[in-house]
A and B are shown apart, each in its own frame.
Chain A
Amino acid sequence: MVHFTAEEKSAVTSLWGKVNVEEAGGEALGRLLVVYPWTQRFFDSFGNLSSASAIMGNPKVKAHGKKVLTSFGDAVKNMDNLKGAFAKLSELHCDKLHVDPENFRLLGNVLVIILASHFGREFTPDMQAAWQKLVSGVANALSHKYH
């Protein structure tokens, strides 16, 4: 189980407070679909994903990105019990959505890259390290109920 120090929790929470979840969510999901095009396999119903600009401007991508990142906000509130917080979502992603957990790791890393681009120098190596622990914890929590 991943353990966060008080400094790590504080670093994550303070940065999260400054994130525009709607915007960042759309950007994260969009970049996932652009940089790793095979991830588009889950989104046949999303319409036009034919180019980077189509993907980034696609309203369904933005809406779904917002949904996903809002849910990520639960992780920030439950850093001491990620497995518990994501148990139901884990079952959903396995049994209904059939998403390979590798995709959680890819999205987590894309999110870290976006935070770096938004926060620049403020996104120090120590800050990144705390966030890598969090995204990795979330990916593990979401994979936990797979069978």
Chain B
Amino acid sequence: MVLSDNDKTNVKATWSKVGDHASDYVAEALERMFFSFPTTKTYFPHFDLGHGSGQVKAHGKKVGEALTQAVGHLDDLPSALSALSDLHAHKLRVDPVNFKLLSHCLLVTLSSHQPTEFTPEVHASLDKFLSNVSTVLTSKYR
């Protein structure tokens, strides 16, 4: 599903407003995901996944930085995310169903922090963007 110019504008505007909170928001999304969808915890047996976990915060920073990269390269996600795509395919091997779960929790987090900006159009653009990122990250799985 191709991002229109409007979609790109919406995604960039949202991420720009997120600003320095990217790590915190992604950490929150991860926490929401672990609590709402306990099966996702199976990928983190080595983490403390309780409320306020330092490891989850650190992981939120990592994922947040990758999303910031993605937002900066909306015209060429496959190339910008190529290394991460390899990592997920050959090392992490996270089942594709889980990307939808994290994407959903990212939307929940964004809508709870930016309710005014999170219009139906922006919601749609972000959903498409996260779906595209997920597709790229699973593109080399087989």
Residues of A within 8 A of B118 (CB): 117
Smallest distance from the beta carbon of B38 to chain A beta carbons, Å?
A: 9
Give the number of chain B interface residues (Cβ < 8 Å): 23
Stretch of B60-68, B71-79, B80-88, B109-117 with 4 or more beta carbons under 8 angstroms from chain A: B109-117
Residues of B within 8 A of A123 (CB): 108, 112
Q: Establish whether residues B107 and A113, one from each chain, have CB atoms under 8 Å apart when the complex forms.
A: yes
Partner of B108, one of A30, A31, A52, A112: A112
Given contacts A35-B120, A35-B123, contact A109 B115 (CB under 8 A): no
Interface of B is mostly: helix
A56 near B120 with CB under 8 A, answer: yes
**Interface residues of A, CB < 8 Å — how many?**
23
- How far is the CB of B4 from the nearest CB of chain A, in Å? 12
Q: Which of B108, B113, B124 has the most CB of A within 10 A?
A: B108
- Chain A residues within an 8 Å CB radius of B107: 113
Complex contact A113–B123 (CB within 8 A): yes
Chain B residues engaging chain A, CB cutoff 8 angstroms: 28, 31-32, 35-37, 51, 104-105, 107-109, 111-113, 115, 118-121, 123-124, 127
